Amino acid sequence: MRLLFLFFLQLPLFASESLIHYAFKQGFKQGSLLLSAQKVEKVISSPLTSQNLIRPLKLSQEIIHYAQNVLGMKVGASYRKYVELNRDWVTKVVFAAEKDRLEIKKFEFPIVGSFPYKGFFDEEDAQALSQELVGKYDVYQRKAIAFSGIGWFDDPLTSNLLAKDSLLIETLFHELVHLNFYFDDQGDFNEAFATWFSYKVAKDFIEKSEFVDNKGKTLSEFEEEEKADYELHSFIHEVTLRGHEFYEKKPLPNRDLYFDWIARCLKEYPNLKSLQRVKWNNAAILSLATYLKLLPLIDKYAQEKNLSAKDFLSKVKEEREYLVSLVEGQGSIPALLRCGEKLP
């Protein structure tokens, strides 16, 4: 199971000194990353490039071609340049949440609106913000394997995405959705739709691809990933449902009772074993809720309207926030509660 994060930096015209400092520093780091990029074609044609790198690089360009020519997506010049990293992440992302309720802290940015997280290219900067927030908020950090400039600049292809074909395919389709639309203050829809879209188009792409190494294995990985994401949605639904009940108690019990219950509840979700290492707090819970909250509703709308992924994307781009309201207006889909144990 993995989650993708959007990261966007821009120098604000009217902002606090701390926000200007943040924009300058992270913008410099981002600029340095972009300046180190080499054209993918040049890397492929170099006699120094190994075959183990050439194949996934060709696969990345095949994905871009398929997105543009088969799915009708805007691709710009993104993922035409390659950056070699010495780590498995691009940014560290900091989440913060209120301690006495399940409410995420929003970080405000000019023009692009608010985000439920703040991203950093250096681990030290992420840790500094975490230390600043930890007294007042619950804080949680995650690795982000990709970021999107949502059309403001051309996104590079980073080496960490080449670890396996399924990761590369899902990430590029996901991030290209952000290049085609990104609605201000609609993070739940933006991310859930991109996740849904990448799953729906991946199977057909893999079957037609010339450069996927092991199609059976890659398809299996996608099926497991999709299954885990829908199971994660059910888990987070149950955890937040019980959490809202817990935080309504007066006086508020020791919060460890809630977090220990989450750890026990997780055992009822066998596809989420990777979460067993999480140290639970409100920020950790809500960091997971942000990206899958609307996934079942998006799938329901597509099925009822008989929309292919391509047609759904076109409809979203045409009807914009109005369509978001239609999807959200369907109401919640009942989820099976697996953890029968009641909170104290």
Q: How far is CA 327 from CA 69, 119, 302, 304, in A?
A: 28, 28, 9, 11
Is residue 146 one of the residues assigned to a domain?
Answer: yes
Distance between first and last Cα of the chain: 30
Identify the pLDDT of residue 86: 87
Is residue 4 one of the residues assigned to a domain?
Answer: no
Whole-angstrom distance, CA of residue 13 vs CA of residue 15 = 6
Amino acid, single-letter form, for residue 257: L
Is residue 9 one of the residues assigned to a domain?
Answer: no
Is residue 7 one of the residues assigned to a domain?
Answer: no
Q: 228 exposed, middle or buried (CB, 10 Å; 0-12, 13-18, 19+)?
A: buried
Is residue 73 one of the residues assigned to a domain?
Answer: yes
Residues contacting residue 331 through CB under 8 Å, at least 6 positions apart: none
Task: Give the residue among 164, 227, 226, 224 at the shortest CA–CA distance from 199.
Answer: 226
Print pLDDT tens along the chain (344 aa).
333 333 344 444 444 546 666 766 776 677 677 778 899 999 999 999 999 999 999 999 999 999 999 999 999 999 999 999 989 999 899 999 999 999 999 987 766 567 788 889 889 999 999 999 999 999 999 998 887 776 677 889 999 999 999 999 999 999 999 999 988 878 889 999 999 999 999 999 999 999 999 999 999 999 999 999 999 999 999 999 999 999 999 999 999 999 999 999 999 999 999 999 999 999 999 999 877 889 999 999 999 999 999 999 999 999 998 999 999 888 766 667 888 767 76
- ∠ CA 164-169-171, nearest 5°, is 95
SS3 157: strand
How remote is the C-alpha of 287 from its chain's centroid? 10
* R_g of the chain computed on alpha carbons: 20
For 38, the domain range is: 17-328
Is residue 337 one of the residues assigned to a domain?
Answer: no
- Looking at the structure of the chain, the number of domains it has is 1
Is residue 5 one of the residues assigned to a domain?
Answer: no
SS3 296: helix
SS3 115: strand
Do strands 118-120 and 91-97 pair parallel, antiparallel, or not at all (unpaired)? antiparallel
The pair phi, psi for residue 281, each rounded to 5°, is -150, 180
How remote is the C-alpha of 297 from its chain's centroid? 18
Identify the pLDDT of residue 35: 76
Is residue 98 one of the residues assigned to a domain?
Answer: yes
The pair phi, psi for residue 198, each rounded to 5°, is -65, -40
Identify the pLDDT of residue 12: 42
What is 1-22 written as a DSSP string? ------------SS--HHHHHH
Q: What is the pTM of this model?
A: 0.88
